[in-house]
Amino acid sequence: MSEIIYRPYQDSDAQDVKQIINEAFYIHRYVTGSLVLDSALELYLRERLLASTWTRVAVKDGRVVGVIMGQVAGQPRLGGRVKNRLLIWAHMLRAGIMGLPQWRSLSQYFAFGPVYRNLRVKAREPLTDELTLFAVASTTRGLGVGKRLYADYLDHLRSLDRTDFYLYTDSLCSYGFYEKQGMQRASEQDMNLVLDSGQHHENLGVYLYTGTTH
């Protein structure tokens, strides 16, 4: 069996990480069209990088098979901020140029922002340190990649004397993993999404979970 290497995220990991994000979070179900989907994945990745202070990826056979990112209050943000901001603006512009139907599809992605803010208010807890991204490729699930990445994140928090953190997830994702790790659902809200190129609507549960390093 090939060795799995754990290291910080690098720029060259972007394509692999976008594929993992799409698979894990089902973004292709509510953002349709190959070009607009690519823009949504770029926006998601670049926003996560801008929000984060720490990263770790799992690499197997030269490909990234798992990723985790976190933000710790008071710690310096990751480098490459100018590049990531420029890419965000470029892909927003591309979506606008592609026309109104594509922009409407991408608008479902943007709808998560206000919901996340509302979940923070409803949680009624001091929320400071965030697990900003966590996803593992299906091809390596069961090999302990997710548990190792999650443990590395907790170790990072402990090294900075941090104890509490939070994350956002939804009913399309494997949120049961967080409950198995002892995290608690602090707030939730339903969203109505148009999925699979308009074939049906679905109420998506969006959740905020809180956890500790204990």
**Model confidence pLDDT, tens digit, residues 187-208:** 999 998 877 666 677 788 999 9
Q: What order do you get walking across the sheet with 164-170 strand by strand?
A: 4-7, 54-60, 63-71, 130-136, 164-170, 200-212, 184-195
Q: Residues for the chain: how many in total?
A: 214
Q: Say how far apart CA 104 and CA 123 lie, in whole Å.
A: 30
**Model confidence pLDDT, tens digit, residues 110-161:** 888 999 999 999 998 889 999 999 999 998 988 999 999 999 999 999 999 9
Q: Say how far apart CA 11 and CA 72 lie, in whole Å.
A: 21
Nearest to 60 by CA among 121, 137, 114: 137
Tokens 């109505």 identify what position? 192
